[in-house]
Amino acid sequence: MEAYVLIDADPGSIWDVAESAVKIKGVKKAHAVAGQFDTVAFVEFTKMDDLGKILERILRLKGVCRTQTLIAIPPAIGK
């Protein structure tokens, strides 16, 4: 399964958050972005419990204020 984690970070820490997030197992990419959120991370996981563990680690990163998770919906089989 795949998800995008939108991260709201403290001012001045968006690059540090992105660099730290990509070191977490399951986080495949992390980018500092402009807009409502400061960093976006792309994660891959096999179970929802795994996603929960990834989110816990992201939330513990220095500079992270809050997150919003968008779980990707796979296309229907056979379409």
Helix or strand holding residue 68 (H, E): strand 64-71
What's the average model confidence in pLDDT over 22-39? 97
What's the average model confidence in pLDDT over 21-26? 98
The DSSP code sequence of 19-52 is HHHTTSTTEEEEEE-SSSSSEEEEEE-SSHHHHH
pTM over 0.85: yes
CATH, range 2-71: 3.30.70.920
Q: Dihedrals φ, ψ of 11, to 5°?
A: -55, 135
| pLDDT above 80: residue 77 | no
Query: Measuring CA to CA, which residue among 57, 56, 61 is closest to residue 9?
Result: 61
What's the average model confidence in pLDDT over 17-39? 97
What are the residues whose beta carbons fall under 8 Å from the beta carbon of 68, sequence distance 6 or more? Answer: 5, 6, 37
- Whole-number pLDDT of residue 76: 76
